[in-house]
């Protein structure tokens, strides 16, 4: 690489501190249900994390998302009742010991968090033909999920917890939030300051499910395609990177 090309390359890369901060945010993000504090969220912080969501990538630059900020205790109580109904049904879908374990999990912070946020997707936001969505109609929904993840990470960087609650009948959300037919409730989120962030996913801590080894999820050239002799060094690097990440470090 020439000196100019190397200089240009380093301009495009974050400083070591910023890069580490980004990975720390990604690795330290948690789904929060039980650690919310009742303290209000600063308007500036809420505005910044919504801007982060709005800067997500979207198919054909469709920006299909809308953000409904729910602070009203009455509205949150309605959503909590819808969660309770769905959660009772959900518990019956697991067998024996698993059902017991499920019932012991705290799976929402609807009334504990000071702000709830519904992120929706308007499937008609950009007319009937959208660049990039001509052959995969669901791309608008995936775009909205990108906005959710941006918000989740920005919130973590601001020290705010976010919990995603999906144990709710979408029809109930539609009624409570007055959603038009063309608008899909993609994510119902609880947001707030927290007492602490857990080091590991709560479902892992509680023995519900473990993080899968990354190397089992990476294939070569086709689904489940094994790596060749030349890929061994890379696979070892992945193993090391994941082990470091489990300790909250960068390899
Ligand atoms: C689309 C979707 C939907 C839900 C979730 C996540 C996502 C991505 N998660 C959170 C989920 O359990 C959590 O992300 C994983 O357990 C991993 O933990 P961390 O997010 O890394 O803390 C979640 N958690 C919960 O307690 N109740 C819920 O209804 C849901 N729903």
Q: Please tell me the distance from the alpha carbon of residue 168 to that of residue 80, in angstroms, as a whole number.
A: 9
DSSP-assigned beta bridge partners for residue 119? 67, 187
- Mean pLDDT in the chain? 96
Q: What is the 3-state secondary structure (H, E, C) of the chain?
A: CCHHHHHHHHHHCCCHHHHHHHHHHHHHCCECCCCECCCCCCHHHHHHHHHHHHCCCCHHHCCCEEEEEECCHHHHHHHHHHHHHHHHHHHCCCCHHHHHHHHHCCCCCCCCCCEEEEEEEECCCCCCCCCCCCCCCCHHHHHHHHHHHHHHHHHHHCCEEEEEECCCCHHHHHHHHCCCCCEEEEEEEEEEEECCCCCCCHHHHCCCCCCCCHHHCCCCCCCCCCCCHHHHHHHHHHHHHHHHHHCCCCC
| pLDDT tens per residue, range 78-129 | 999 999 999 999 999 999 999 999 999 999 999 999 999 999 999 999 999 9
Identify whether residues 35 and 143 lie together within a single domain: yes
Number of domains comprising the chain: 2
Gap from CA of 176 to ligand 1 centroid (Å): 22
Identify whether residues 217 and 190 lie together within a single domain: no
How confident is the model over 124-140, as a mean pLDDT?
A: 97
Identify whether residues 93 and 118 lie together within a single domain: yes
Identify whether residues 244 and 174 lie together within a single domain: no
Q: How confident is the model at residue 10 (pLDDT cuts 50, 70, 90)?
A: confident
CB of 190 shorter than 6 A to ligand 1: no
Identify whether residues 72 and 112 lie together within a single domain: yes
Query: What is the structure's pLDDT at 251?
Result: 78
Identify whether residues 236 and 128 lie together within a single domain: no
ipTM of the complex: 0.99
Query: What is the structure's pLDDT at 220?
Result: 97
Gap from CA of 102 to ligand 1 centroid (Å): 14
In a domain, 134, yes or no: yes
pTM strictly above 0.80: yes
User: Residue 111 is part of a domain; what is its CATH number?
Assistant: 3.40.109.10
CB of 28 shorter than 6 A to ligand 1: no
**151 vs 229, residue with greater confidence:** 151
Query: What is the structure's pLDDT at 2?
Result: 78
Gap from CA of 185 to ligand 1 centroid (Å): 16
In a domain, 13, yes or no: no
CB of 165 shorter than 6 A to ligand 1: yes
Identify whether residues 196 and 217 lie together within a single domain: no
Nearest CA to ligand 1 atom 17: 201
CB of 201 shorter than 6 A to ligand 1: yes
In a domain, 157, yes or no: yes
Identify whether residues 86 and 69 lie together within a single domain: yes
Range of the domain at 156: 29-207
Q: In the block, which residue shows the tokens 């879908």?
A: 93
Identify whether residues 40 and 148 lie together within a single domain: yes
């Amino acid at each position: 690489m020439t000196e100019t090309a190397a200089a240009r390359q380093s301009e495009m890369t974050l400083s070591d501190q910023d890069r580490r901060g980004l990975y720390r945010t990604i690795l330290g993000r948690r789904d929060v249900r039980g650690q919310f504090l009742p303290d209000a969220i600063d308007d500036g912080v809420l505005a910044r994390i919504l801007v982060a969501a709005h800067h997500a990538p979207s198919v054909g630059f469709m920006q299909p998302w809308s953000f409904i900020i729910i602070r009203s205790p009455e509205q949150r109580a309605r959503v909590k009742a819808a969660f309770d109904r769905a959660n009772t049904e959900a518990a019956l879908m697991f067998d024996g010991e698993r059902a017991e374990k499920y019932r012991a999990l705290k799976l929402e912070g609807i009334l504990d968090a000071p702000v709830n946020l519904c992120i929706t997707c308007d499937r008609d936001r950009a007319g009937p033909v959208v660049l990039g969505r001509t052959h995969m109609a669901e791309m608008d929904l995936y775009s909205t999920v990108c906005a959710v993840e941006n918000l989740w990470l920005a919130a973590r960087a601001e020290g705010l917890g976010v919990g995603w609650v999906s144990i709710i009948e979408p029809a109930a959300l539609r009624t409570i939030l007055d959603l038009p037919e063309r608008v899909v409730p993609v994510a119902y989120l609880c947001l707030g300051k927290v007492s602490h962030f857990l080091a590991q996913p709560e479902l892992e801590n509680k023995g519900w499910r473990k993080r899968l080894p990354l190397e089992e999820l990476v294939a070569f050239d086709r689904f489940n395609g094994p790596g060749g002799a030349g890929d061994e060094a890379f696979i070892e690097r992945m193993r090391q990177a994941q082990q470091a990440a489990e300790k909250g470090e960068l390899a």
